[in-house]
Structures are given as structure tokens and as C-alpha cells.
Amino acid sequence: MKTMYLSMAFWVLCTHCHAQNTKTPSAEGVWKIVLKEDRELIKPLRIYKQGKQWKALLGNTPLPIQQKQGKLIIDWKKEGAKFEGVLADQQQSIKGFWRQYRYASPVKLTKTARGWEGNREVQFQQLTFFLMIRKDQTTGKLKSYIYNHERNQGTFLRIQETKQKGRKVFIALDGLPNLNGTLSQDGSTLHMPINYYGLRGKVFRKVDPSQEARMQPRIGQKTYAYAPPEQIKDGWQTASLKDLGADMGKIKGMVEAILTKKYPSLHSVLITYKSKLVLEEYFYGYDREQLHDTRSAGKSFASAMIGLALDRNLLTSVDQNVVDLFPQYKGQIKNLDERKQRLRIRDLMTMSPGLECNDDRDESLGNENVFYDDREPDDWTKYTLDLPMVNEPGNKAFYCSAGVNLLGQIVTTVAGKPNYEFIHQHLFEPLGIERFTFYLTPKGHGYQGGGMFFRPRDLAKFGQLYLNEGTWNGQRLLSKAWVQTTGKGHSTMYNHPYKNYGYNWWVHRFKVGNQTYESFHASGNGGQLIFVVPELKLVVAFNAGNYRRYGIWRKYRDELMPNYIIPAILKIKK
């Protein structure tokens, strides 16, 4: 009998232990998944001659290649890729562009014993989702949201409801298919397949947010000690802010405010003073080699193209009529009234084309979103030219990305080559900008409304070019007169008290103490900014991930610049 009772007690104890071990795991916590397309970002490309035949290898994959009219052309139809290049530098290199996945990027192959070798780079399509699930303290129900550092997709992926029943997890999304998942027995993974516009993933993994580089400015760091930027061979000369006599307390205060998330999702800040790079700081796992989306800061490159075309007599004036610069559409443009015939290049640069185009109104026929949803036209240029007129050109300014895009297409027409090739040849190569990607329209034109990706140091070079009134390291790339007129106010946006928009550059006055400092800047959604302050010989470049969160990234202009950066520079003895 005693043995039987002992056996029963042991059974009860084991059952209790098993029940504890199989306790249902909680969905609360932070879950990470990386969604990406199956593409290799960088891959070696080799072009060589075998007898009289040209050959090409991408990694170990043979590619079809032929020579036509002096160009080496790879047309890889299977993967939707195309390369066009030419022999250059007395046949010591092959230069061209690789086009794939609706992006174009430059390629330079260098002569070796095995032919011409280098890398081709494509735009890396990836989204990192952090699914944050917690219990509402008032209702006791689960609530969740998504944090995404690359494009802030959590503002689009709105979660309406989150439920857990046993190990099953259900998430209801607004306007998208719901997500259904299953927690692993140990609660470390959540198997929940997701397909977000072709980017796929299956398993979310539970993570410690304090140890995730993409969720923290810098893991474990809250205090800051300044170090000068590294001197590398990219055209920049560097210097020490401390040695120059800047207010290092202001610099320390700014960086520590970023480290403590007073200014969240700020990926990089670079400062140049008197043509030297004096500060270079990265956060949230970003670094100097990573290409960053510049969004609408890319619009400032559009007016630079116009300046380059004027300098080469490809255009005669900013007062040229836009319609006349598209002979391929002669007799086909809709809504062609007298006002549209008076539309000038300058009107596109000042956001005052008079077209029914306003990115701030969802119902506007010319809203940029038309190009990115199921309404996407095959020919973005023709679609924009067809828009009806609602104002006299030059009278009222509204934010119109489609109109800015026409500037790039004008350059393509008058230069006889793609706009991205034109600006690469005449601006990027002299600036030493070797890596970038350019978003393409369905017709293969470089989109000028946004979508250009650059390294932060290269973005700062563009600002320095304008601070130098068109020169870089002693070489003139843009005319002085063009740069001077570009940064002046030509139109008024958003009922501003003064003309705050130039030729695709914003105009701003910084008030610091009793002084006012005139400046102009490129500006892109999320916090992609290049500030030029001529009086202080100052350029500041920001990259960030606060897309659709203007209330956060405007603080870079309204707080970081006047409260930290400008006061730090003012301490330097003239």
C-alpha cells in the first residue's frame, strides 16, 4: 500500500512538473523578422575578349554580351538586367550603368590580366520589422505596432487587433491580409508567414531590444567623447572641431541627446567647416559605406542638372517653354491651353507649374502617390504633361514632385542620354561619387522627384559644392551665377512669411542669439537634409528614418541647428 501511495505521489508530482514545462508562452515582447528579395547586393563582374568575341561573367554566370556602335551591351532578359558601357581612359577601364529592379547604378571595370574587372551593385530590397506586442494596462488586451528603420513602414502597416489563444497569434491589419502565427513551445520564435509587396518572411524571433543595433542609437552608449573624422581617400580633407576651438560642450550635448533618443531614428550627422569634414557620427547600425535613401532631397539634384545643361548650352534659359522641350509628344499633349504653353522651366523648379499637381492633397490627379500604386501610368512624363492646368504658371506654389521629375526628362532629351548618365559624367565623377543608385520610371528614366541613394559623405559633398558656389577642390563644376540664384527665394510655400523656396532648395533663416543667418537646404521625407549656411562656411548633412513623422525630423532644423551646431561653430575664432 505504501508503495502504491508513493507511486501515485510521484505521478502527481511529475504531472505538475510537466504542466509547468508546457505552460503556454506569451506573445508579449519584441519580435524581429527580415523581409528581403533574393538578390545579391554586390557581385563581381568581368568582361573580357576571347579571340574576337566579347565575353562576360557575373560571378560564375556567363552573360550575353555584344558590341554595338562602340558600346558594350549586356541584355540579360532572364533577370531583367541590362548593362551599357564604353571603353574609357585609353581602354584601361570600362564605364557604364547596370539597370535592374527599377534602379540604375554606375559600374567601373578596371583593366587586369584577365580582362576588365570590378563589381556591379544593385539596390538592396530589404525591410526589417520589429513587431512590438504588449498588454494594455487599462483593458488587459494585447496591443502591437511595427517599428521599421529602413522606411518606417509601421506608419503604413496599421495593426487593428492582436489576439492570442494558446500558442496561436492573430493580427488584423488595416487594408492588408491578416497575419496568423504559432508560437514555438519555448516562446522563442513565432512562425507567422508574411508577404509585404513581394518581400517575404516566415519566422519572427524574440529579441532583446536593448541589444538590437537597429533599435538603439548605439548599444550601451549614453555618453560621448569627440573624435575627428577619419582621413580616407574620398576627396575630403578632415579637421578637428576641438583643435579649431568649437564649443565642444554643444557638440557633446547634441550627440548625447541623440544617444538618449531625444531625437530618435537619426541615422547620421556630418558637419563640414571651411571645406573640411569636422564631424561624422552614425547611429542605429548605419555607417559611412551604406547607401541611404535621400527621398525629396534628390529634387535639389534636378535643378543642378538644369544648371549643368545651361552651362553646356544644351538649354538657353530657364524661361524656355516646357512643352517645346518634348518634341516626341507634339500634337499628343492633353489639356494644352495657353497657360500650359506658357509653362517655363523656372516654374517647375519653384513648385509653381500651375498644373493640377499637389502632393499634399490625396485627391490631386498629380499627387506623387499615383506613381506608386495600382494607378501607375506607363509613361510618367506624358501623364504629367497631360495634367489639366488650375493656375497661371509661376503664380502659386504647391508641392509637386511630378513637375520636378519633368526637369530630369528635359535633360535626358536635350543631352541625348539618360539623366543619370549626364549628372554622373558632369557632376558625380568630378566629385568622386563612385557609388549611388537612381530609381527608374517604367520607361527607364531616372526619377527626379526622389529615390536617389547616396553615402552620407557624398551627400555632404553636394552641399559643399554649393557652399563653394560651384567648385570642388578648385575645379568649377557649376557656374557661380547659377548656384547663387538657386539658393535665393523665388516662391512662397505653405504661406511662409518670406519666399522660402528657391530652385528646388528650401530657404531658411536661423536665429541664434541676436543674429540671423541666411541658409538654404535640400530636404527629404524622414529627415534627409543638407544645410548650407554661407556666412558661417558651414554644411550639415543629416540622414534619418522618420518617414511621415515631420514633427520629429523638423527638429533637426528647428533645434539641432540653432541650439547646438551653429553655436558650436560660432565659438571658433575667426
Predicted confidence (pLDDT) per residue in 398-408, tens digit: 999 999 999 99
**How much is the pLDDT for 22?**
65
**How much is the pLDDT for 558?**
98
Q: Which among 492, 520, 485, 506 has a CA at the least distance from the CA of 317?
A: 485
Tens-digit pLDDT profile for residues 435-470: 999 999 999 999 999 989 999 999 999 999 999 999
Band (125; pLDDT cuts 50, 70, 90): confident
**How much is the pLDDT for 259?**
98
- Contact, 154 vs 174, CB < 8 A? no
User: How many whole angstroms from its chain centre is CA 482?
Assistant: 26
**How much is the pLDDT for 8?**
44
SS3 category, 158: coil
Answer yes or no: is pLDDT of 92 > 70.
Answer: yes
Instruction: Give the separation between CA 192 and CA 31, rounded to whole angstroms.
Output: 11
Instruction: Give the separation between CA 165 and CA 314, rounded to whole angstroms.
Output: 67
* Burial readout 73-102 (b: 16 or more C-beta within 10 A, e: otherwise): bbebeeeebbbbbebeeeeebbbbbbbbbb
Tens-digit pLDDT profile for residues 198-249: 889 999 999 999 999 999 999 999 999 999 999 999 999 999 999 999 999 9
Q: What is the CA radius of gyration of the chain?
A: 27
**71: Cβ contacts below 8 Å, ≥ 6 apart:** 84, 85, 86, 96
Band (151; pLDDT cuts 50, 70, 90): confident
SS3 category, 288: coil
Q: What angle do CA 158, 164, 166 make, to 5 degrees?
A: 160
SS3 category, 481: helix
Answer yes or no: is pLDDT of 270 > 90.
Answer: yes
With left for phi above 0 and alpha for psi between -120 and 50, is residue 515 left, alpha or beta?
A: beta
CB atoms within 10 A of CB 15: 10
Q: Which residue has the higher pLDDT, 75 or 21?
A: 75
User: How many whole angstroms from its chain centre is CA 266?
Assistant: 13
The reported pTM is 0.94
CB atoms within 10 A of CB 109: 27
**How much is the pLDDT for 175?**
85
84, β-bridge pairs:
73, 97
Parallel/antiparallel/unpaired status of strands 515-524 and 506-512: antiparallel
Tens-digit pLDDT profile for residues 380-402: 999 999 999 999 999 999 999 99
- Contact, 560 vs 254, CB < 8 A? yes
- Contact, 308 vs 426, CB < 8 A? yes
Tens-digit pLDDT profile for residues 475-534: 999 999 999 999 999 999 999 999 999 999 999 999 999 999 999 999 999 999 999 999
- Contact, 440 vs 95, CB < 8 A? no
User: How many whole angstroms from its chain centre is CA 448?
Assistant: 13
User: How many whole angstroms from its chain centre is CA 513?
Assistant: 34
Could you give the percent of the chain with pLDDT greater than 70?
96
The alpha carbon dihedral of 349, 150, 267, 446 has a sign of negative
Residue type, 271: I
What average pLDDT does the chain have?
94
Instruction: Give the separation between CA 527 and CA 269, rounded to whole angstroms.
Output: 11
Answer yes or no: is pLDDT of 550 > 50.
Answer: yes
**How much is the pLDDT for 40?**
82
130, β-bridge pairs:
32, 147
